[in-house]
Structure 1
Amino acid sequence: FLVAITFAANNKSEDAKWNGEINVNKLSSYLALSASQSEEVKQICDYFSEQMRRASHSRKNHDALLHNAVYGNLKLMKGTLTPEQYTKYLQVINVTLRNRDIEVK
């Protein structure tokens, strides 16, 4: 079950920076994660936040780093979540990136 996400590629804001952490407790509650899923999702979110910070502070490889961070996160989450949870997660990550004016090519 593959759900495609399309992020706008043009109109990238150069000021967009990833400066926030993911609230794993709220995400766990929203997705109704099991205890083992919660721990794995926490590790994935920590890694994702670090990768997003690197991408947001890079001028040279910004687009490639951003793409790798987002799609790497989605791959890890897909392996951890049920199809229903993953669908809900896709909605959350899409809205989060849009709200932060972060666009992925």
Structure 2
Amino acid sequence: MKKMILTVVAVMSLSMSAFAENDNAENTLNVENYDMNINMRKLAVALDMTFDQMESVEDVHNMFCKEMMLAAHASKDDREKMVDMAVKKDLRYMHYILDEKQYHKYLLLLNTTLRNRGLK
């Protein structure tokens, strides 16, 4: 009887640790989806940016990355709102820096990235 109770307790503790491990893996994956670091040289080539534009875009993008990481660590209720605000701010600044053709291409790249990561 004693062995059976100890076996049940051991099995339950193992199953509980497996559930906790799955939650940690899901949270890590969730945070990785909000990491928006990109290769700036490739973006500059894709958008055909000037050197001045590249510096400005890099500054704006670094701010966007920080805001997205804040959203990743926020509560589930606030997360969507924070992502929307970060994207709107990023697009507003990018529209100011880039010309129309570059901006539309950037908009396409950003929307694709957000959809692929399940953020939109």
Same-fold status (TM-score > 0.5): yes
TM-score (norm 2): 0.70
SS of the counterpart of 2:119? coil
CA contact (8 A) 1:41 1:80 kept: yes
Pair 1:91 & 2:113 matched: no
In structure 2, the residue matched to 1:50 is 66
Correspondence 1:17-96 to 2 at 5 A: 17-59=33-75, 60-96=77-113
CA contact (8 A) 1:31 1:85 kept: yes
The structure richer in helix per residue is 2
SS of the counterpart of 2:68? helix
- Give runs of ≥4 in structure 1 deviating > 4 Å: none
Q: Structure 1: where are the runs of 5+ without partners?
A: 1-13
Letter in 2 for 1:36: D
Cα distance 1:33–1:68, how it changes in 2: closer, same or farther (>3 A)? same
Shift of 1:61: 1.6
CA contact (8 A) 1:24 1:45 kept: no
Q: Deviations over 1:84-104 (max 9, x none)?
A: 00000010000000111112x
Shift of 1:62: 1.0
- Is 15-24 or 27-36 further displaced after alignment? 15-24
- Is 82-91 or 22-31 further displaced after alignment? 22-31
Shift of 1:20: 4.1
Partner Cα separation in structure 2 for residue 76 and residue 30 of structure 1: 18
RMSD of the TM alignment (CA)?
A: 1.5
